[in-house]
Amino acid sequence: MIRHSSAASATLAAGLGLGLAMAASPAQALYLNYLNMTVALGPSMAPEPFANTTTAVALANAIDAPSADAGEIHVSPTTHVWINSAPLELVFTFNDDYDLETLHFWNYFTEQYDVDNINFEFRNAASSVVGAFDFAPDTGTSAPETAQDYGLSFPERVRSVTAIFTGTNGEVDFNNIGFTASVSAPVPVPAAGGLLAAGLVGLAAVRRRRRAG
């Protein structure tokens, strides 16, 4: 009767562990939207400031782009954000600390309603500001709106973003805002682990056949 020695199993486990530790962990781009962040009105805002819908619907509309390169048709009140008594202050909070690479902003397509400036503050998990700037977005595209991309780089990972949107005539209208973060790729299951599992399944099948015979 052949038995697995526990020493051999320990050596095998150590070998697999070494393989995992040595596996490359390349960075991947992760688009952050409603799946990875929440958005709320900033403390300067009245509870229901939007011109065409409730705060709940408007905030959901702001972060519902499925990807950084998605197009979105401007449909009121189901796709966009509109306020005619700017400024609009929003606070975005991520579900983790992220190394932000790119801002994506889907502006409205006429100068009458578009966002003319966004004042950003980016904060770490301790609420310390790690970056701040004014961003004057381009007038948006139309049918569908697509994002303008803007490169970001901060000395620390970001947990929350405060954004104050202004329009020169008090109008602020946009479809979406989102961010791309650089994250480590999941460590792949090593091939040796897959082969080991296949071998154990095969051994069990042989035993069943022998028992049946």
- The string of DSSP letters for 46-83 reads -SS--SSS-HHHHHHHHT--SSTT--B---TTTT-EEE
- Per CB under 5 A, the segment of 29-37, 87-95, 112-120, 125-133 that binds Ca ion is 112-120
- Per CB under 5 A, the segment of 2-10, 95-103, 162-170, 196-204 that binds Ca ion is 162-170
Peptide bond into 43 cis (omega under 30): no
- Per CB under 5 A, the segment of 12-20, 31-39, 75-83, 188-196 that binds Ca ion is 75-83
- The answer to whether the CB of 28 falls within 8 A of the CB of 184 is yes
53 lines the binding site for Ca ion (CB under 5 A) = no
> How far from chain centre, in Å, is Cα 190?
27
Three-class DSSP category at 158: strand
- The answer to whether the CB of 33 falls within 8 A of the CB of 61 is no
Residue 44, amino acid: S
Residue 47, amino acid: P
97 lines the binding site for Ca ion (CB under 5 A) = no
The interface with Ca ion within residues 12-51 (CB under 5 A) comprises none
114 lines the binding site for Ca ion (CB under 5 A) = yes
61 lines the binding site for Ca ion (CB under 5 A) = yes
101 lines the binding site for Ca ion (CB under 5 A) = no
140 lines the binding site for Ca ion (CB under 5 A) = no
79 lines the binding site for Ca ion (CB under 5 A) = yes
Please report, as ranges, the residues that interact with Ca ion according to CB under 5 A. Answer: 61, 64, 79, 111, 114, 116, 167, 175-176
